[in-house]
Amino acid sequence: MINHIVVAVDASPSSDNAVDLAISLAKTNDAKLSFLNVIRDMQLPESVMRMAEVEHIQGPRSDVLRFVGEKTLKLADKKAREAGVMNAQKNVAVGDPASEISDYAKSHGADLIVIGTRGHGELKGMFLGSVSRKVSNLADVNVLIVR
């Protein structure tokens, strides 16, 4: 039995498909549903971090990413509500996407992670599906990878 599903969302086509499938599974199993958007934490060299201009570069970038993440979560929640799945949790995390997704699932007692095969990574053409593969290796629970 599936009791709690965590869905990684990033507004990519495969993420949209993952949301649709997770909603269906949550409805069928009367499971709790949590949507998670992860803002990639980009580590900059120490020398760059000391530059005054970095504050102005990072601020707007992180604000834009957070806005997009929250909008993506609202759209996923709207789909869930329209399908009759109420009270879905919406969460934004910052860090390495695979680690954050795996850690969130573990710390919140999820028994299934649903994730799209390809996201909006910065080098998406180079490492197709790298986050979903890493999640499947890191997670202590079942991972359903959706195309």
Q: What residue numbers bound the domain in which 86 lies?
A: 4-146
Per-residue pLDDT tens digits of the chain, which is 147 residues long: 999 999 999 989 999 999 999 999 999 999 999 999 998 866 545 554 455 555 555 555 677 788 889 999 999 999 999 999 999 999 999 999 999 999 999 999 999 999 999 765 544 444 446 899 999 999 999 999 999
Q: What is the pLDDT of residue 122?
A: 46
User: Number of folded domains in the chain?
Assistant: 1
Q: Which residues are CB-neighbours of 21 under 8 A, at least 6 positions away? A: 114, 144, 146
Q: What is the pLDDT of residue 125?
A: 42
CATH number of the domain that residue 102 is part of: 3.40.50.620
CA atoms lying within 13 Å on the CB side of residue 121: 18
Q: What is the pLDDT of residue 7?
A: 99
Q: What is the pLDDT of residue 97?
A: 95
Q: What is the pLDDT of residue 118?
A: 77
Q: What is the pLDDT of residue 57?
A: 52
Q: What is the pLDDT of residue 52?
A: 52
